[in-house]
Amino acid sequence: MAFTFTGQTGSFTVDYILQMIVDDTQRPDKIEEMKRRVQRAVMKHHMKDFYKKDHIDAIYTFLTTDKEQVIDTTLLDRFRSLSYARKFQTLDTQGNPITPTTEKGELSEVAPELAFDGYEFDKLDVMYRSGSDIKIRSSTSLDQLFIGYYQFPIIEPIANLNSWIAVEYPGLIAAEAKARIFKDIGKEDEYKSSREEVAEELLTLQTNNIVLKAF
């Protein structure tokens, strides 16, 4: 049974994923539940690992120039986790313009309780999480950072769904949603079959995507 839905994600439409679910479950009456299941499945599989396709680079600019700075992660679009931060230097120590560089600008991530050395002095060129902030102590003044971080996909509203996993592995998302629906309506054999399909599709995804380490 076909239905009309205008959501789109990349070159694949959300209609296609939903139609796969309807074809196998024969429950077009559950289309609204299917949409929610698709959203949850997309988020679940992005959260399973840190994939390079969820990673972006950006320049973070502070309002002041100082040796102690704070990254407000709520200002970063769909922020999930920081992977690195380097000083982005555009001035020399005398304040003269230079070719922008991140050379020797690496900041080390430490736990908050380890942000001090054995003599309880502040460690320098480090960063640590504090709530939604990332606090930085630099050995030099800085007003910009070159950062890399992982993003969450867009799942709401479903008409604006933006997920490379949904685009490249629609079968995985459909199988995940089908499994929950079969479970809810008491079709155990179909549920088990869908779980096996999820495992096969997930293995394909993880085999074909390089995973990057993040902190």
- Model confidence at 30, in pLDDT bands (50, 70, 90)? very high
Enter the pTM of the model. Answer: 0.82
| pLDDT tens-digit series, residues 119-159 | 455 788 899 998 999 999 988 888 889 999 999 999 999 98
C-alpha to C-alpha distance for 128 and 51, rounded to whole angstroms: 22
Measured distance between the N- and C-terminal CA atoms of the chain, rounded to whole angstroms = 46
Report the chain's mean pLDDT, rounded to a whole number.
85
C-alpha to C-alpha distance for 54 and 50, rounded to whole angstroms: 7
- Model confidence at 93, in pLDDT bands (50, 70, 90)? low
Once rounded to an integer, what is the mean pLDDT over residues 153-182? Answer: 94
Query: Closest Cα to residue 3, out of 17, 24, 19?
Result: 19
Strands of 25-125 (E only): list them.
55-72, 79-87, 89-91, 97-101, 108-109
2 pLDDT above the threshold of 50? no
170-184 and 14-25 are packed helices; what angle lies between their axes, rounded to 10 degrees? Answer: 40
SS3 214: coil
